[in-house]
Amino acid sequence: MDAHDWDERYAAADLVWSAGPNQFVSAHLAALPPGRALDLATGEGRNALWLADRGWQVTAVDFSRAGLDKARALQSGHARSQALRIEWVHADVLTYAAGAGCYDLSLIAYLQLPADSRRAAVRRGFDALRVGGTLFVVGHDSSNLADGTGGPQDPAVLFTAGDVLDDLDGTRFDVARAGRVPRTVRAADEHGGEPERTAYDALVELVRTG
- Length of the chain as a residue count: 210
CATH architecture, range 3-208: 3-Layer(aba) Sandwich (3.40)
What pLDDT, on the 0 to 100 scale, is given for residue 192?
A: 45
What local confidence, expressed as pLDDT, does residue 190 receive? 44
Helix (H) or strand (E) holding 130: strand 129-140
Q: What is the pTM of this model?
A: 0.89
Q: 10: exposed, middle or buried (C-beta count within 10 Å: 0-12, 13-18, 19+)?
A: buried
The residue ranking higher by pLDDT, 58 or 193, is: 58
Interatomic CA distance for residues 29 and 18, integer angstroms: 18
Dist CA 27 CA 45 (whole Å): 17
Domain ranges for the chain: 3-208
Instruction: Kindly indicate the confidence band of residue 204, based on its pLDDT and cuts at 50, 70 and 90.
Output: very high
Q: In this predicted model, what pLDDT tens digit does every residue of 43-91 receive, in sequence order?
A: 999 999 999 999 999 999 999 998 899 899 888 767 787 788 999 999 9
b/e sequence 32-53, b meaning 16+ C-beta within 10 Å? beebbbbbbbbbbbbbbbbbbb
Task: Return d(Cα 206, Cα 182) in angstroms, integer.
Answer: 19
Q: How far apart are CA 123 and CA 112, in angstroms?
A: 15
Residues 133, 141: Cα–Cα separation, whole Å: 24
Report the 10 Å Cβ neighbour count for 54.
Answer: 16
Kindly report which listed range (34-38, 78-82, 104-108, 110-114) carries the lowest average pLDDT score: 78-82
- Summarised one tens digit per residue, pLDDT across range 138-148 is 999 999 999 99
